[in-house]
Structure 1
Amino acid sequence: MTDETSADARAAEFRHKLVDELVAAGYITSAEVAAAFRAVPRHAFVLPGTPLDVAYNADNSVVTKTTEHGVAVSSVSAPFIQALMIEQAEIGPGMSVLEIGSGGYNAALLAEVVGPEGRVVSMDIDPEVTDRASTLLDATGYSNRVSVVWADAEHGAPDFGTFDAVIVTVGAWDIAPAWREQLAAKGRLVVPLRMNGVTRSIGFRRDNDHLVSTSAKVCGFVAMQGDGEHADRDLTLSDRRGRKVTLRFDDGAPDNPGLLDGVLAGERSQAWSGVTIKHGVSFADLHLWFACYLPGFCRMTVDDGTDLDRERGTWFPFAVVRGDSFAYLAVRPALGGGGVEFGAGAYGLHGPQAANAMVEQIQAWDRQARRGEPTFAYWPSGRHVDVPERTAVLEKRHGIVTISWPVAG
C-alpha cells in the first residue's frame, strides 16, 4: 500500500465515523445526505496541514481566511450545521440549489445530494474565496457539477433563473428580495437569520406573499459582507483598572452612551427570579425572548482581569441597558446542585431597576414560552400584517420578522 493510499484510507475512516456520529445525533436524517458526507473528502477543502481529527470534528468549523486583525471572514462550517441546513432545505435528487457563501465543500455536498440531473450555483463576494473554491472543486472532481460565481449575493444570481432551494451559509441580518424572487413556488430558503443579536438557522417555505418557518435551530455564522451587511454598534465601558466590558448592540443602541461612563466603578446589585433549570437543558429561547421583549438588549464581552472575568460560570453574555445602568444575565446554584436559578447582576445608580427589568422577562418567558418552540415568518415591505397573539415583530430593511410563541395551556 502506497503512502497516498494509506492516507486516503485513514481519511475515509474519519469520514465514515463522522457520518455515523451525525446520523446518531439526528443531524443527518436522509440516505442522500449521508451518502454525500461519505463521498466528499472534507479534508481536501480545509487548509493544508489541518489534522484529520480537526477536519472531521462534527462540532467545529475550520477557518480558511482571516483579516489582518485575525477576524475570521471565511470558514468551512461545522459538519453538524452543514448537515442540518441541507436537511432543513429538504434537498433531493434533480433539484437546483443556490448556495450563498462559498468555500467548496458544502457545494460539493450539495452536488452529491442533487445528483447529475441537479444543479448547484455557489456565490461569494470575495474573489479569493471563489478562486479557492473553484480550484478545490476542480481538484476533487466537482468543477463540472458546481457553478462558482463571484458576486454580491444580496442581488441574487439572475442569470440562473429560479431555484428549488436557497441555502445561505453566512450570517444574514435580513432576507434579500432577490433570494425570495429566485425561489421556486414550492422552494425552500434556509438562512442563519440574526434577530437583535440572536441567530437561528431558519428553514422557510413560501406561503403566498410571505415566508413561514418549517424549522429553526441555534447556530452562529461569519457575518455577511457587501450590500447586505449590518454593522453592530459597540459600547465599551472601563473598570477601575482600565480593563474593558463591551456591550454590543444589533439594534437599539443607547442615544446617550456617555451616561454609562464610570458605571463599573460603582457597587453591583442583584435580583433573582425564582426560575430554575436543570443542568444540561437548553435555554437558548430565553435569549431570543430577551431579543424580542427586552428594550436595550445587547450582548456582552469582558476583558481578562475584569471582575466579571473572574466570575465566569456565574453569568451569560446577555445584557440590557437602562439609561445610566446595565444588567446582565446571572445564575446561581439551585435544585440541590442539579441546576441553577436565573437572575441579573447590575451596575449603575439605577442598576436595581435594570436587573428587575431582566428578571421580569425571565419570569414572563417561564410563564408564557418555556414549554414550546417559537415559529417565524417573514413579511416583505408593503404587506399588511395582522399580528397574532403572543407574537413579536422585528423590523428589517426589506420587511419584518414575526416570532410567534406557543400559547401556554
Structure 2
Amino acid sequence: MNDVPADPDRATQLRNKVVDQLRDEGWIASPEVEKVMRDVPRHLFTPADTPLEQVYDPYSAVITKTDEYGVQLSSVSAPQIQALMLEQATLRPGMNVLEVGSGGLNALYLFKLVGPGGSVTTVDIDPEVTGRTERLLGEMGYGQIRVVTADAAEPIPGLGQVDVILVTAGAWDIPPAWLDQLKPGGRLVVPLRMRGLTRSVAFTRVGHHLESESAKICGFVPMQGSTEHHEKLLLVNGTEEIALRFDDGLPSEPGKLDNAVTTPRHELWTGVTVGLRELLDTLQMQLAISLPGFCTMAVDEDLDTGLVAPVNKRHALAAVEDDTFAYLVTRRTQDNKHVEYGVHALGPNAEQFARKIADVLRDWEATRRGGPGPDIRVYPAGTPDDQISGDRVIDKVHSRISLSWPAAQASASRVHQAPPVTQGGST
C-alpha cells in the first residue's frame, strides 16, 4: 500500500480540498465527520502506484483487488460515498459498531468517531483483505480495532448486539444475522440493491423489522459469500446482441419474447423533459415500483444490428410485459439544456405497452418529481402479506422488502441537481 508521499504537504492540501468540496456540496454536514476526514491520511490505504490526484478525487473509488477477469472485488470507496454513509450512520461517542466489508480506512473513521469508549469490529470474507487491513491499522497504532475474517452474513462470534452496522459492499439481501446483531433502535446503513437499483439506505430497527430514514443513489462492489447474488439474463433475439437483465428472476414465460424483435419498433415521445444534471432517483424508483416486468437492457456493441437504439448501450432502463419489451431513450431539446424521455417498444403489443410506460413517466412528473423517495421497510422472509403494506413487495431469500410512496403530492418546485454517480466498496 502507499508509503508516505515525498511531499506530505501535497496530500494534506488535496485532502483538505476534497473535504471542503464535500462540505460545500452538503455531503459532509457534521463537524465530527469533517474532522476525521481531514485528519486521516486516505492515501496510506491505497495502492502505492495510485496518483494522489486520483486518491483524493471526491467521486472516484480506488480499486485494490480484481479477479483474473478484471472484476472488481475490493476498493477504497470514493470520499463522497464515505461521507454520505458516515453521515447516515449518525455515530456518537461510546457506540459499538460492526463494519461489513473491510479495508482499514473506513474502520479508522468509525473508530475515531466512536472514541475510546466505543468499539469497532471490521469483517471481510477475503483473508487477503483482512490481512492487509490488520497490518495497516497495526502499523498506524490502531491495533485495538478488531479485524475478523468471516462471512458477515453469519453471526460474528463474541460480537453481541451493536448500535450501528455499516455495510461497505453492495447487498442484495438482508441476512437475519444483521437484524439479530442490531440493538433495538439501532441503525443499519447498507447499499441495498432493489430491482437492480442500488441505494445507500439508513435503516432503524423497529421491533423485528427495519424502517428507512434516508436513501441515496449510489453504486458499490457487490457482496461476496452466502448472500452473493447474480442477475438473470434473457437474450431476446437468440444471440448476445440484446440482453435483458432481471434482478429478481426471469419472467414466468420468457419464451413469449422470442419473436418480439421481428416486429416493427414503435417509438413514442412523452413530453417529459428533465435537466441535464437533474437527480432522477425517484424516476428510476417510479418505474421499478410501477412496472412488474422492470429490468435493464444492454447491447453488445460488437453484435449491434440496430434492432434497438438505446442512448446508453450498456445500461438502459427497460421493462417486459408478456410478449413485448420496451426501453427508455432520450433526446436533447431545442434549448440544449434538457432532454426529453421517449419509449421504444418491440413486440405484438408495442404501441399499447409504450403508452403504459409513458403514463408512468407522466405520473412521476406530476406527483413524484423533486419529492421524497419511497419508504423502504425490510421484514423477515415468511412474514405474512397482511403484515406488510407497500406499493411493491420484493421477495428475497432472507427478507421481504416493501417500497411505499409517501402520499402523492404535486410536482415539487425545486429540482435537485445530480452529482456524478460514484462507486463504493470495502474501505
TM-score normalised per structure 2: 0.87
Letter paired with 1:43: H
Q: Relative to structure 1, is the Cα distance of residues 308 and 116 closer, same or farther in structure 2, using a 3 angstrom cutoff?
A: farther
Q: Does residue 94 of structure 2 align to residue 94 of structure 1?
A: yes
The 2-side partners of 1:209 and 1:391 are apart by 21
The equivalent residue for 2:401 is 401
Letter paired with 1:146: I
Deviation at 1:186, TM superposition (A): 2.7
SS in 2 for 1:107: helix
| Residue segments in structure 2 that go unaligned for 5+ positions in a row | 410-427
The equivalent residue for 2:424 is none
The equivalent residue for 1:271 is 268
The 2-side partners of 1:115 and 1:160 are apart by 18
After superposition, the C-alpha distances for 1:173-216 in whole angstroms (9 at most, x for unaligned) are 11111111111223111011111111111101122232111111
The equivalent residue for 1:116 is 116
SS in 2 for 1:159: coil
Equivalent residues, number? 403
SS in 2 for 1:155: coil
Higher RCO, 1 vs 2 (CA within 8 Å, ≥6 residues apart): 2
Q: Relative to structure 1, is the Cα distance of residues 44 and 372 closer, same or farther in structure 2, using a 3 angstrom cutoff?
A: same
Deviation at 1:172, TM superposition (A): 0.9
The equivalent residue for 2:25 is 25
Letter paired with 1:285: T
Q: Which moved more, 1:14-23 or 1:336-345?
A: 336-345
After superposition, the C-alpha distances for 1:121-143 in whole angstroms (9 at most, x for unaligned) are 0111111111121122223332x
After superposition, the C-alpha distances for 1:56-103 in whole angstroms (9 at most, x for unaligned) are 111011111111111111111111111111110101222111000111
- Superposition pairs of residues 3-402 of structure 1, within 5 angstroms: 6-142=6-142, 144-237=143-236, 244-261=241-258, 263-264=260-261, 267-305=264-302, 306=304, 307=306, 312=311, 317-334=316-333, 336-373=335-372, 374-383=374-383, 385-387=386-388, 391-402=391-402
Letter paired with 2:342: G
The 1-side partners of 2:340 and 2:296 are apart by 20
The 2-side partners of 1:244 and 1:139 are apart by 50
Letter paired with 1:116: P
Deviation at 1:341, TM superposition (A): 2.2
Q: Relative to structure 1, is the Cα distance of residues 209 and 22 closer, same or farther in structure 2, using a 3 angstrom cutoff?
A: same
Deviation at 1:4, TM superposition (A): 6.0
SS in 2 for 1:154: coil
The 1-side partners of 2:379 and 2:136 are apart by 38
Letter paired with 1:12: T
Contact 2:153 2:177 (8 Å CA) reproduced: yes
Q: Give aligned-pair identity as a percent.
A: 45
| Residue segments in structure 1 that go unaligned for 5+ positions in a row | none
Contact 1:212 1:377 (8 Å CA) reproduced: yes
After superposition, the C-alpha distances for 1:345-392 in whole angstroms (9 at most, x for unaligned) are 12334332332332232123233322421222222235455555x732
Q: Relative to structure 1, is the Cα distance of residues 12 and 268 closer, same or farther in structure 2, using a 3 angstrom cutoff?
A: same
Deviation at 1:337, TM superposition (A): 3.5
TM-score normalised per structure 1: 0.91
Contact 1:316 1:329 (8 Å CA) reproduced: no
The 2-side partners of 1:51 and 1:263 are apart by 49
Contact 2:231 2:249 (8 Å CA) reproduced: no
Q: Relative to structure 1, is the Cα distance of residues 210 and 82 closer, same or farther in structure 2, using a 3 angstrom cutoff?
A: same
Contact 1:260 1:323 (8 Å CA) reproduced: yes
